[in-house]
Chain A
Amino acid sequence: MKYRNPPIPEGINVSDRHPLRELFVLAGGALLLLLLLSWLLGQFGGRLARLLPFEHEAVLAPVSLLSSDAGPELQAYLDQLGDRLTTQMVLPEAMQVHLHVSGGDSFNAFATLGGNILLYRGLLEQLPHENALAMLLAHEMAHIEHRDPITGIGQGAAIQLVLGMLFGDPNLGVLGSAGLYTQLHYTREMETEADADALQAVQRLYGHIGGARELFDVIHAQREKSGLGEMPAIFSSHPLDQQRIEAIDTLAHERGWSKTGETTPLPPDFTRWIIEAADRAKARARTDGMIPGMPTSPSSLPGHPRPG
């Protein structure tokens, strides 16, 4: 009986696929799969969320974040402007719009659940005339009419829940009120459609869209001033300002709306009301110990408040 030990060649039990190549192939595939899954979940979640009747939205609304720093005169003025717009927009009976003003510094305004719209002083004080304000209000109301808040939350929640379950640590806090606030995320399609509906309402109210376009100039100017610049459109859920202006110009051209016309000025006491709101906010901050709605960087708007 002979016992030999011939050497065994390498590479039989080991594959010679280069690990880096494998990494790229696998990671690329996984990323693709993830994007597809997220998109599918978003669509599904959004559709499902829209089935929730509007009346029940109010239960989920983040009421604690909706400050009311507006004095009675400012509130009355905004409410009557809002009513005129809702008549033009023909909102369903069940949809009640509630306007709130925050005296905070932020250059922002957003629509959230339950028909609540929050406007910040930082934005209101930059508006040149009533037409721009009307465009702003109409835009937010269009979001509510399309049920964008609940859709956005549905999309975000669906993605977070399922991906959380897949990768561990599902964040069920997404359904708490803080989670709702940060989940408010509108897609570009939502914004474009809101723009179109708002433009129509403003056109019906004033007979022209001249002043409405200036809202975007104001936004653009603020963005330039804050030095944020514009990110490439693909990375931002917000259509770039230039694109939005072009979009509404195209729409106006199609419908034959006039781009020039006399703008209605804001009431003379508007500036005073705004300052009063700011003071009220500061007083509230001193008693509460916190200053809601005063982030240092202005977010892109109108539309969604950037979380954090």
Chain B
Amino acid sequence: MYNLIVFLVLLLLGYGVGQYAERRHYRSIIEREGRLNALPAIASRYPPTQPHYRQALVTGSTVISVDYFKRFLAALRNLFGGRVTSYESLLDRARRESLLRMKQQAASMGAAMVFNVKYETASISKGRGNTIGSIEVLAYGTALIEPRGQ
């Protein structure tokens, strides 16, 4: 009985705090995406050769953890199959955040655009049992920096 109460409390906490944190995070992401809109990130491999840009590798990474509520939903999903909607928003946030951080790094270098953007997703810290506790997304690309004096 005691275990059930603890479980329900954790679930509620996970849901409440998780949803709040997620909304806040999304607001921040959308706002920053607006600000960094001028800096395009392209997945293409052939950058423009003129003007003669300087190049630098830029990266941005995020590790986002699952909350109790999401993990429980995913475990239930495992029984019936189908889309694990609780993880979709998690990964979406992680990716966009990583991209923004990469862009921020590029912007701080004075880049005009970032080319050959690639993503890597990995799972960090397997939690209790075999469930994965957190997810890391790495976004990296080559920043094309305006040559000095222009």
- Which residues of A are at the interface with B, using a C-beta cutoff of 8 A? 1, 3-5, 7, 10, 13-15, 17, 19-20, 22-23, 26-27, 29-30, 33, 168
Contacts and interface: CB of A to CB of B under 8 A. Distances in A.
Nearest to B113: A3
A14 B88 contact: yes
Interface residues of B, number: 30
B84 to A, nearest CB: 10
Nearest to B29: A10
Interface of B: 15, 19, 26, 30, 33-34, 37-42, 48, 69-70, 72-73, 76-77, 79-80, 83, 85-86, 88-89, 91-92, 113, 129
A61 B113 CA distance: 79
A26 B41 CA distance: 39
A4 B48 CA distance: 14
A301 to B, nearest CB: 24
A5 B40 contact: yes
Nearest to A12: B92
Contact of B37 (A5, A19, A20, A30): A5
B42 A19 contact: no
Given A13-B92, A19-B15, A22-B85, A7 B33 contact: yes
B88 A168 contact: no
B113 to A, nearest CB: 6
Given A7-B34, A19-B73, A19-B86, A30 B15 contact: no
Given A7-B34, A19-B19, A33 B83 contact: no
B89 A14 contact: yes
Contact of A3 (B19, B40, B89): B40
B73 A5 contact: no
A20 B15 contact: yes
A13 B96 CA distance: 11
Given A5-B38, A29-B80, A30-B76, A14 B33 contact: no
A26 B39 CA distance: 43
